Amino acid sequence: MRTNTARIGVAESRPELEEIPEAECLEILDRHTLGRMAIVVDGQPQIFPVNYAMSGRIITLRTGAGSKLSYAPTSKVCFEIDEHDSSGVGWSVMVQGIAVDATDAFDDVSWAARAVEAWPLAPGVKPYRIAIEPSKITGRRFRVASSAVS
């Protein structure tokens, strides 16, 4: 059995969670460029680090041929970014939605995705564009409140 216990001589910490409104989640997403996209590949969930850009509510990323291009389009996907610092403050933003191969398509999501440029850091040619049209955007902020150990 796993339990959470404070280290000896260290103040006990209790997490405090705060919901982040969707508008603020979108602002946070717009300020960052590195996230993780979760998709199902051959019946198993996989998580891929990706560089991305925002076009309104649409998340867009570049990719080469491979798992993301083969399995993400027309599928439900999850996208997440998070951050924390040494002071005990952190946050997480999660986007659930449907992925679209926006490389050459003429739908509204694809047009929006091609309006911005995502710059992949990973090496290799990435001629394809995947967009995520959100169905749900949620966020949480995490703060540690310290109390004395008795």
Task: Flag whether 8 is in a domain.
Answer: no
Which residues make Cβ contacts (< 8 Å) with residue 4, sequence separation at least 6?
A: none
pLDDT per position as a tens digit, 78-103: 999 999 888 888 999 999 999 999 99
CATH of the domain at 80: 2.30.110.10
Q: What percent of the chain has pLDDT over 90?
A: 78
Among 8, 117, 5, 22, residue whose Cα is nearest residue 62? 117
pLDDT of 120 > 60? The answer is: yes
Site of tokens 């440029």:
117
Question: Mean pLDDT in the chain?
Answer: 89
CA angle 53, 98, 114 (to 5 degrees): 35
How far, in Å, CA of 7 to CA of 89, rounded?
A: 19
Work out how many domains the chain is built from and give that number. Answer: 1
Q: Looking at per-residue confidence, does 125 or 11 come out higher?
A: 125
Backbone angles phi, psi at 42, to 5 degrees: 50, 45
Expressed as residue numbers, the domain containing 49 is 27-84+96-136
Both tokens of 148, joined, read 């004395």
Question: What's residue 10's pLDDT?
Answer: 46
Task: Flag whether 52 is in a domain.
Answer: yes
pLDDT of 47 > 50? The answer is: yes
